[in-house]
Amino acid sequence: MHVQHTDRSEPPRLRLRNISVRFGGLTALDSVDLEVAPGRAAGVIGPNGAGKTTLFNTVCGLVRASSGTLELDGAAFTPVPHRLAPLGVSRTLQALGLFEGLTVLENVTAALRPAGTGFLRDLLALPGGARAEKAARERAMQELESLGIASHASALPATLPYGVRKKAALARALATDPRLLLLDEPAGGLGRDDIDELADLIRAIPGRGCSVVLVEHHVDLVMAVCDRITVLDFGRVIADGTAAAVREDPAVTDAYLGAGAA
Ligand SMILES: Nc1ncnc2c1ncn2[C@@H]1O[C@H](COP(=O)(O)OP(=O)(O)O)[C@@H](O)[C@H]1O
Ligand SMILES: [Mg+2]
């Protein structure tokens, strides 16, 4: 359906085909198609109840699609929440999910030290583990620096402004060098200045070769950072294109005005 890619030999990083999600009698998503090219940012917007969170949860494996398929780099993808990291898929949640008893640096380092069985964990438990631990800490610190919050490394999250905590959650998601980053309403609870700063940070992510899917109620943020925007209303895709095209689309204006009036 979509013919946006210049390089046809390269499959989309993420592709949703015909995804429907039903909760009892309610159709939360209705035959949704979506693709994100490698190193691109895709936005999903829509009024309250449009199905944004359901779509996000479907890609994270928190909700199972009633029908349709997902693909990651051209391969069938059945998302399972705790198995996303090994596939290079990372996410931030609206409720940041930082460990309140750990410092910012420890929170980010924890992402590099999976709790389950795993290569890095085994490495950390073995002689030479101290060295792996040091490497993880250095990698985490580097991420804090790149997001401009290195000076808060040893602070506990609860002592920090919300905008800084959001960046800490983003640093944690990026520290694993994901190929796909899923962001759920990252602008929620932020003021104008923080949103502008966040926009700059998100805009820099595709440059690292990581694709971004940004699910957001905040239209301005999505318009500022996304190459391509999918608009949902009542679970259906009502528009799909560049920020400029979507902004001009009467169906989109109607959906938002309708929601505002309701
Ligand atoms: N777990 C659930 N059980 C039943 N209905 C749900 C569930 N989650 C979402 N819904 C419904 O699905 C629709 C889409 O919700 P949601 O994805 O949260 O929309 P958005 O994030 O765009 O506001 C809404 O009508 C909502 O009430
Ligand atoms: Mg939502």
User: What are the tens digits of pLDDT across the range 135-157?
Assistant: 889 999 999 999 999 999 999 99
Query: How far apart (Å, rounded) are the C-alpha atoms in residues 54 and 179?
Result: 22
Say yes or no to pLDDT of 3 above 70. no
Task: Report the nearest-CA residue for atom 14 of ligand 1.
Answer: 51
Q: What percent of the chain has pLDDT over 90?
A: 63
Closest CA to 96 of 144, 158, 49, 43: 158
Say yes or no to pLDDT of 260 above 60. no
N-terminal to C-terminal alpha carbon distance within the chain = 33
CA dist list (Å): 73 to 13, 14, 20, 155, 203 = 4, 6, 21, 38, 21
More confident residue, 262 or 240: 240
- Per-residue pLDDT, 220: 86
More confident residue, 86 or 65: 65
The rounded Å distance from CA 127 to ligand 2 centre is 46
Estimate the crossing angle of helix 192-204 against helix 162-174, to 10 degrees. 10
Mean of the per-residue pLDDT values of the chain = 88
Most confident residue range from 6-10, 123-127, 211-215: 211-215
To test the pocket of ligand 1, the residue of 20, 48, 52, 54 to mutate (highest count of ligand atoms within 8 Å of its CB) is 54
Closest CA to 29 of 248, 234, 254: 234
pLDDT, mean of residues 9-15: 92
Is 54 close to ligand 1, i.e. is its CB under 6 Å away? yes
Least confident of 76-85, 123-132, 179-188: 123-132
Give alpha helix (H) positions in the chain: 52-60, 104-111, 119-125, 129-146, 162-174, 192-204, 219-225, 243-248, 250-261
How many other CB atoms sit within 10 Å of the CB of residue 48?
A: 9
219-238 pLDDT tens trace: 889 999 998 999 999 999 99
Query: How far apart (Å, rounded) are the C-alpha atoms in residues 140 and 146?
Result: 10
Is 26 close to ligand 1, i.e. is its CB under 6 Å away? yes
Is 49 close to ligand 1, i.e. is its CB under 6 Å away? yes
pLDDT, mean of residues 159-171: 93
Strand 67-72, strand 228-233: pairing = unpaired
Strand 180-184, strand 211-215: pairing = parallel
Total-model pTM: 0.87
What are the structural domains, with CATH classification, of the chain?
Answer: 1-88+178-262 (3.40.50.300), 101-175 (no CATH)
To test the pocket of ligand 1, the residue of 32, 53, 232 to mutate (highest count of ligand atoms within 8 Å of its CB) is 53
Confidence category of residue 261, pLDDT binned at 50, 70, 90:
very low
